[in-house]
């Protein structure tokens, strides 16, 4: 594999200049550049797999161990296309075999404990693995207890489908197929921050496109905990108006802001908010969330009331626990919690760590990008693209004052771009070969 760090930085991080900055964690430990550090990665999603791939490319002497409980990768981005009937679950399930060949050790297991003092990770299978650097890329933990009645029994009927899988996305699709024409699909949007800000509104479009064709008398009731559409408001409302008659007497979509679900009754098929008890034929409640369970084990949930993890943007190292780095959704940042960000920051963390291992100072002014496509289910899509640049005064990566990467409207061309984006980011994340046969369509 030939992926040059400097070429990567030209494209992804921009030219920041060779300015040395003191105080970046970890530099002194590996100043010789001859070390073979043990790097343990927990979670093989967009962030973890990308990190492992690029660290082995840029610092081959690192001994990289990946711990992942699942047999294969299932993509949350693009999973709403399964609800629309555009794709099947198999189309968004991708193999780990190629990324497994690049790392030193792959452990199919679940982490049950992390000792950040001893720098060890313990798995359910009884393995204890020591690390010099630990990378946590576990996504989010869903807080079912925040919604009364959303217990294990209720979860058998009420699906969140916010972690894609056959028992979630596949099951919700089956429920939609079984729903009678004229039925009500009740879905919720958690209060920000949450994984994938435009995801719930895209879901309304995707489900709506299926119902419009197969069950045109049906309704979609959106219970949004936020005071307004939290992402791409103008674009989503335009799509809802165009395709589903939004804000007319015949609207398929009933959007209700400031309506966070407080309780669910799976037997009566009712969702309760502060204002109403809403009955549905199919209920899709996405509960509040926080940084992944493994972050709690490592003691790195220190921000936003102990829900998310603060990091040094230049190295992605936790601000409270040394040698623990957090990627993707678990981090408390200015970035949206998206697959694009997880993939991009996986590369940035790999770059920073390779520089540290070589006894050099990482880029003092990194740049992170995010590109997020949303499909409407009609073969069309729109996007938002943002570049986050280093602000020395704020010691943070910040977006531009004026958004400059937002679509004017949905289009079939952007629908094709969305499909291409998905296949490219899957291939990059999982080290898929050029000959890999994708079956997913936009």
Which helix H or strand E contains 80, and what residues bound it? Answer: helix 80-84
Please give the average per-residue pLDDT across 68-90, as a whole number. Answer: 98
Q: In this predicted structure, what is the pLDDT of residue 401?
A: 81
**Percentage of residues in the chain having pLDDT higher than 90:** 90
More reliable by pLDDT, 427 or 7: 427
Question: Whole-model pTM?
Answer: 0.93
Own/partner pairs, 162-169, CB within 8 angstroms, 24+ separation: 162/76, 162/195, 162/199, 162/286, 162/289, 163/76, 163/139, 164/74, 164/75, 164/76, 164/79, 164/82, 164/92, 165/74, 165/89, 166/89, 169/79, 169/82, 169/83, 169/89
Whether 292 has a pLDDT exceeding 50, the answer reads: yes
Please name the CATH architecture into which domain 5-69+108-142+290-430 falls. Answer: 3-Layer(bba) Sandwich (3.50)
Identical fold between 5-69+108-142+290-430 and 149-287? yes
Q: What is the per-residue DSSP string for 6-32?
A: HHHIIIII--------TT-TTTGGGTT
CA pair distance 416, 308, nearest whole angstrom: 35
Residue pair 222/255 in contact (Cβ under 8 Å)? The answer is yes
SS3 154: helix
Please give the average per-residue pLDDT across 123-133, as a whole number. Answer: 98
Q: What is the mean pLDDT of the chain?
A: 93
Question: 356: alpha, beta or left, given left = phi > 0 and alpha = psi -120 to 50?
Answer: alpha
SS3 103: coil
**What is the tens place of the pLDDT at every residue in 137-190?**
999 999 999 999 999 999 999 999 999 999 999 999 999 999 999 999 999 999
CA pair distance 181, 215, nearest whole angstrom: 4
The domain spans of the chain are 5-69+108-142+290-430, 149-287
Q: 46-58 and 339-357 helices cross at what angle (nearest 10)?
A: 30
Task: Determine the topology of domain 149-287 in CATH.
Answer: FAD/NAD(P)-binding domain (3.50.50)
Confidence of residue 5 (pLDDT cuts 50, 70, 90): low
The residue to which tokens 């879905």 are assigned = 187
Longest pairwise C-alpha distance within the chain: 71
**What is the tens place of the pLDDT at every residue in 15-35?**
333 333 334 544 445 545 557
DSSP 369: E
């Amino acid at each position: 594999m030939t992926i040059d760090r400097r070429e990567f930085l030209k494209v992804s991080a921009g030219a920041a200049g060779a300015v040395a900055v003191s105080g970046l964690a970890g530099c002194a430990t590996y100043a010789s550049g001859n070390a073979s550090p043990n790097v343990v990665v927990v979670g093989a999603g967009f962030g973890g797999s990308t990190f492992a791939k690029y660290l082995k490319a840029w610092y081959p002497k690192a001994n990289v161990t990946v711990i992942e409980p699942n047999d294969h990768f299932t993509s949350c981005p693009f999973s709403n296309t399964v609800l629309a009937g555009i794709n099947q679950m198999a189309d968004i399930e991708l193999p780990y075999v190629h990324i497994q060949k690049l790392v030193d050790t792959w452990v199919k297991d679940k982490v049950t404990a992390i000792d950040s003092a001893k720098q060890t990770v313990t798995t359910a299978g009884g393995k204890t693995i020591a690390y010099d650097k630990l990378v946590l890329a576990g996504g989010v933990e869903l807080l079912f207890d925040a919604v009364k009645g959303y217990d294990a029994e209720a979860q058998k009927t009420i699906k969140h489908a916010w972690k894609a899988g056959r028992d979630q996305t596949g099951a919700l699709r089956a429920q939609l197929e079984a729903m009678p024409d004229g039925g009500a699909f009740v879905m919720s949007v958690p209060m920000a921050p949450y994984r994938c800000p435009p995801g719930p509104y895209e879901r309304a479009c995707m489900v709506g496109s299926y119902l419009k064709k197969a069950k045109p008398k049906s309704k979609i009731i959106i219970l949004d905990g936020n005071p307004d559409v939290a992402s791409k408001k103008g674009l989503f409302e335009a799509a809802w108006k165009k395709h589903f008659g939004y804000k007319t007497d015949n609207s398929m979509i009933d959007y209700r802001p400031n309506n966070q679900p407080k309780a669910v009754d799976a037997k009566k098929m009712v969702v309760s908010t502060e204002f109403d008890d809403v009955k549905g034929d199919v209920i899709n409640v996405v509960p509040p969330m926080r940084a992944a369970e493994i972050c709690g084990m490592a003691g790195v949930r220190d921000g936003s009331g102990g829900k998310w993890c603060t990091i040094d943007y230049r190295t992605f190292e936790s601000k409270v626990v040394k040698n623990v780095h957090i990627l993707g959704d678990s981090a408390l940042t200015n970035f949206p919690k998206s697959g694009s960000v997880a993939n991009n920051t996986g590369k940035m963390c790999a770059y920073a760590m390779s520089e540290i291992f070589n006894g050099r100072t990482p880029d003092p002014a990194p740049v992170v990008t995010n590109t997020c496509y949303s499909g409407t289910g009609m073969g069309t899509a729109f996007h938002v693209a943002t570049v986050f640049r280093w602000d020395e005064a704020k010691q943070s990566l910040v977006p531009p004052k004026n958004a400059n990467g937002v679509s004017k409207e949905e289009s079939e061309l952007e629908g094709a771009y969305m499909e291409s984006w998905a296949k490219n980011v899957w291939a990059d994340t999982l080290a898929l070969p050029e000959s890999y046969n994708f079956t997913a369509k936009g």
